Chain A
Amino acid sequence: MTIIAQDPSVRTRHGILRAVIDIPAEPLAPGPVGYRAQVVDFDASSNTLYEPLRLGQVDRFARVSDRRLLSDPQFHAQNVYAIVMRTLSRFEFAMGRRVSWSFRGHQLKIAPHAFAGANAFYSKRDRALLFGYFPCAKGKTNYTCLSHHVVAHETTHALLDGLRERYADPSSPDQAAFHEGFADVVALLSVLSLKDVVSRLAPSRTTMTVAALRKSALLGLTVSGARNDVVRRSVQLRPSRDHLKSPEFRRPHRRGELLVAAMMNAFLHVWVSRLKGQGGADRLRRAEEGAAAADRLLTMSIRALDYCPPTDIEFRDFLSALLTADSQLRPDEGKYPYREILLRSFASYGIRPTSKGPNGVWEAPVGRLRYSSVHFEAIRSDPDEVFRFLWENRRSLGLCADAYTRVQSVRPCQRVGADGFALRETVAEYIQRIELRAGELKRLGISIPRGMPAQHNVTLYGGGALIFDEYGQLKFHVRNKILNAERQTRRLRYLWKQRQP
C-alpha cells in the first residue's frame, strides 16, 4: 500500500516522499474496516460523512500525482489505515504475540478528518484515533492524518496503554515523559526502517558522520503548520548528565526528548559503525545499513516493554529492559556493539541502567523458588495459576503479603532470534496496591511530604513483570517493590508537589 512516508512537507526532487509498505493481508470491508482497525471518515466540524474506501487488489494510489494524494480523502483513509496496521504489526512481530489495544475490544476506530483543529489524539473512551486538519499560511489545509510521525505516534499511545496501563498514571517526571518519548522513538525508527525512504533522504557519502546525520531530514519529527513547519529534532539535544535534574526537563514532552535523544544518537552511532570499512558503500548500501540498524533498535525498544516494571517506570528501568530484551535473543553482541553503544549514549544524558548486573541486564531472581504445585501449561495462560506461583513464593520474591495483589495479564510469546530459532517466553504482570492515611506512612519508613495532612488518603503502587522461560522457570522478576521506602518517598513528594496524590 502506498503511504506518505514522512510529512507531506518533506519533499525530495520527486515530490512528496512516498513508500510502499506491507500490512497484514486480510479481506477488508469498505472503510477500510479490518480485524483490528476501522476507518470512519466523519468530519464533525462540517458534519460530513465521506464515502468509505473500498480497497481492491490493486493499489490505486501508486501512481497518482502529489496533488491527488493531498486532496483525495480516500487516499487519506488508506494512508492512516496502512500506518496504523504497520505499527501494530511491528509491535506484534517484536512481541512475538498478538498485542491488544488498551480498551476492551478489538477494532480501533480511526477518523482521518475528525475535526478542524491542529490536534490528533488517542481516545481510550471512544476507542479511537482522531486526527484533525488545519489551514496553512498559503490558504491550503494540513492534514495530521498524512503525517507518518503523527499517526505512528498516536498508534503507539494506543498500544503502549494496552501493554502497560499504569504508565498513564501520575508518578514521576520520567513516567509522565515516557509515553511521549517512547511514541516518538517508535515513530522515528518506523520511518528509518523503511529502506527506500532512507535511501532517498540519506546524506552523501562524505557526510556520513554522526554530526552531519543529526541535521538530516530523517531525524526530525515534522508536522507542517500554518506559519512554519514544526520540527522536533531531539537528536540534536546537547548531551549532558545534568538534564534530568534541570527544571527545563521537568515537563513531560521536553523530558521525553531525553529518551529520544539517547535512543536516536545510539542509532546514528550504530549506523556509522556499520558503515565503517565500507568507504565505497553506495547510497543503497548506506540505506540498507541504516534501515537494518533502525529495525533492530525498533524491535528492541518494543520488546523491552515486556521487561519493564508495570508501574512507576523510570528511564533507567527502560534501559535495563532494552539491554535485557536484546541479550535474550543475542547473548553475544555480534558484529556491531549495539548494547555498548546504547549504554554509552544513555549515559551521556545521565541515564544509567537500574540493574547492577553485568552490562546493565536484569539479574536472575535469587532464592529458592517452589514449582511443585504449579502446572506448566496453566502458568502460560492462567492468571490464577500465576497468582498461586506468586503466593507460594511470596517470601522468596519479596512480595508484600498484606497488599492487594492482582495478576493483570499472562502472555505467552514466541520471538524469533537472530539465528532463526524461536525463543518461547511467558510474560506475566502483577500489580500491588496499598491504601492508607498519610499518618501511617512513617510506619513503613516512608517520609510524609511536607504539608500533607496526616488524614490525607494515599495509595501506594508496586508490581512486577515475571518472565518465564520455555520450561516454565522464572528467568526474570522485574519489579518495583511496593515497600521500597526511598522510591515511594520520592514518588509521593513529586505527586504532592503536583497535587495529584
Chain B
Amino acid sequence: MPADSKPGKLTLRAYNVGFGDCFLLTFHYPVRDRHVLIDFGAWVKSRKDRLTNKPQASNQGIATTVEQALACSSSISLANRPLIGCEASELQLLVRVAKDISKRCFGKLDAIVATHRHRDHIGGFAGRSGAIIESCHPDVVVQPWTEHPDADPGVSFLGEENLVNLGAVKNLQRIGLRRTYVHYGADSGLESVLPGVTVRVLGPPTLQQTQSIRKQRARDYGEFWLAPERWSAPRTKLFPKARACSPSRRSPNTRSFLGRMRAIHVGQTRQIVRALDKVLNNTSVILLIEAGNKKLLFPGDAQIESWSYALSRPGIRKMLADVDLYKVGHHGSRNATPKTLWNLFAKRSAGSSSQRLRTVLSTTANVHADVPCAALVETLKAQSDFFSTQDIDGKLYEDICMEL
C-alpha cells in the first residue's frame, strides 16, 4: 500500500471571521499534509453598528449585504479607492486569513469548497485575499451546480445576471485545475486529492430531484426569481413594431414621471436581488466527509428546504447517525439545523465522553436578529462538545484536532 493511502489525523482550523465561514481542513498523511479550504468569507460589523450594538432586521441586513456586495463585486478596482468603515477592517482581516492559509498549507491548497455565493462564505475569494488564495494553486474547486457557467438558462439568475458577489464568483470560475459543480449524489472530485477519504455530496438537490425548491419557487414567483432571461432583464422593446417616441419631446410633467418610473424599476430590481439573496442558502453544498473512523458534516448555510431532500433519501439518515463533527449550519440560525437532523446524531449526549459529538459554530451575535438562535446554542452546549468562533478572544483561529 502506498505511503499516503490514508490520513492518520486531521486538524480543523476555524478562523475568526465574524459573521462568516472559513475553515481549513488539514488531513495529516504520512508523507505530506493535504489541505481543503471550506468557504472563505467574512462579515465584520461596521463601527457604527458596533457602537449602537444594533442587530439588523433581516431585510435591512440583506440590503446591506447586497449593497456592500455590489462594492465587493467590483473588488478588482478596490485598490484604486479608499476603504471605508467595515470594508477596510473586513478586507484587512481577509488578507490576514489568506496569508495564514497560504502559510499553513505551504503555498499549496489541494481543494477549495465554496458552499454558496453569499459574501460571508466566498467574499475572500475576491480582491487581494483572493489573489493570495489563487497563488496556492488549488487542484479542485467544488461549487454547487447552480454556479455552473453553462447552467440551465432557467436558473441563469445565478450566473452573471445576478449581482451578488460577482467578483468572487468570477474568480472561483477561473481558479483551480479542475472545477466540479455538484448536487446531491454527485462525485465531488475531492476523493482524487484526498486518498483514503470518502466524500459524499448530500446537497444541494437539483430541481429534478426535489419539489421543495420548486415549492419555494412557486411561492416566490411574484418576485420571479427563476423566470427566463428576457424576463428578468429585458433590453429590447416589448412591442418591436409599435412606434416609440422620444421622452425629450414630452412635457416636463411627463418627463418627471418617467424619472420616477425609472427609480421604481431600480428599486424593484434591488428587491429581486434581495429575494434571490434569501434563497441562495438553499443552494449550499452539503458534504459528509468520512476519514478513518470519523465523520464530519459541513452543510454550509443549507436550510430546511434543502435538507428535506437528503433526509428523505434511503440510507442517509443511517449514514448521518454516527457523525463526529458537525459544522453548525447558517451561523446557528433556527432553520438550518432541522430537529430531524439533530435528533439523528447518535453521538450527542449530556455527559462528556471521548466519543461525544463535536459541534463547531462560526458566527457573531447581533448581526442578524436571533442568529445564533439562543435555543439552538443552548442545546448544542448541553448535548455536544461545543465550540464557537465567538469564543476566540483576540486570536485569528482555533485548531480542533481529531485522531482518525
A47 to B244, CA, bound (A): 10
Q: How many residues of B contact A (CB 8 A)?
A: 31
Contact of B264 among A52, A114, A116 (CB under 8 A): A114
A111 to B242, CA, bound (A): 16
Contact of A226 among B221, B230, B237, B247 (CB under 8 A): B221
Contact-size category for A = 35 or more
- The reply to whether B242 and A51 contact each other, CB–CB distance below 8 Å, is yes
In angstroms, how far is the closest chain B Cβ from the Cβ of A178? 22
Chain A residue at smallest Cβ distance from B260: A126
- The reply to whether A123 and B264 contact each other, CB–CB distance below 8 Å, is yes
Residues of B near A133 (CB, < 8 A) are: 238
In the assembled complex, B315 has its CB within 8 A of some CB on chain A: no
Residues of A near B224 (CB, < 8 A) are: 117-118, 134
Chain A residue at smallest Cβ distance from B243: A51
A313 to B223, CA, bound (A): 31
Q: Mark A107-131, 1 if CB is under 8 A from B, else 0.
A: 0010101111111000100101010
In the assembled complex, A350 has its CB within 8 A of some CB on chain B: no
In the assembled complex, B366 has its CB within 8 A of some CB on chain A: no
- The reply to whether A49 and B246 contact each other, CB–CB distance below 8 Å, is yes
In the assembled complex, B173 has its CB within 8 A of some CB on chain A: no
In the assembled complex, A469 has its CB within 8 A of some CB on chain B: no
Q: Which of B73-81, B126-134, B250-258 is the interface stretch?
A: B250-258
Given A40-B257, A116-B231, A135-B230: A141 in contact with B268 (beta carbons within 8 A): no
In angstroms, how far is the closest chain B Cβ from the Cβ of A330? 42
- The reply to whether A42 and B258 contact each other, CB–CB distance below 8 Å, is yes
A71 to B239, CA, bound (A): 7
Q: Mark B259-272, 1 if CB is under 8 A from A, else 0.
A: 01110110010000
- The reply to whether B227 and A135 contact each other, CB–CB distance below 8 Å, is yes
In the assembled complex, A211 has its CB within 8 A of some CB on chain B: no
In the assembled complex, B351 has its CB within 8 A of some CB on chain A: no
A115 to B267, CA, bound (A): 11
In the assembled complex, B48 has its CB within 8 A of some CB on chain A: no
In angstroms, how far is the closest chain B Cβ from the Cβ of A223? 11
In angstroms, how far is the closest chain A Cβ from the Cβ of B243? 4
Residues of B near A40 (CB, < 8 A) are: 254, 257-258
In angstroms, how far is the closest chain A Cβ from the Cβ of B154? 11
In angstroms, how far is the closest chain B Cβ from the Cβ of A200? 29
Given A115-B261, A134-B224: A49 in contact with B245 (beta carbons within 8 A): yes
A325 to B228, CA, bound (A): 50
- The reply to whether B244 and A130 contact each other, CB–CB distance below 8 Å, is no
In angstroms, how far is the closest chain A Cβ from the Cβ of B157? 13
In the assembled complex, B219 has its CB within 8 A of some CB on chain A: no
- The reply to whether B239 and A73 contact each other, CB–CB distance below 8 Å, is yes
- The reply to whether B247 and A49 contact each other, CB–CB distance below 8 Å, is yes
Given A118-B224, A226-B227: A43 in contact with B238 (beta carbons within 8 A): yes
In angstroms, how far is the closest chain B Cβ from the Cβ of A347? 34
Q: 10 extra interchain contacts, Cβ-Cβ under 8 A, other than A42-B261, A134-B231?
A: A40-B254, A43-B237, A44-B258, A44-B261, A44-B265, A49-B246, A72-B242, A116-B232, A126-B261, A130-B261
List 6 tightest A-B contacts by C-beta distance, closest first. Answer: A44-B265, A51-B243, A44-B261, A135-B231, A45-B234, A73-B239
Q: Give me 8 A-to-B residue pairs in the complex whose CB atoms sit less than 8 angstroms apart, sorted by A's number.
A: A50-B239, A72-B239, A118-B222, A126-B264, A128-B257, A225-B221, A226-B221, A226-B227
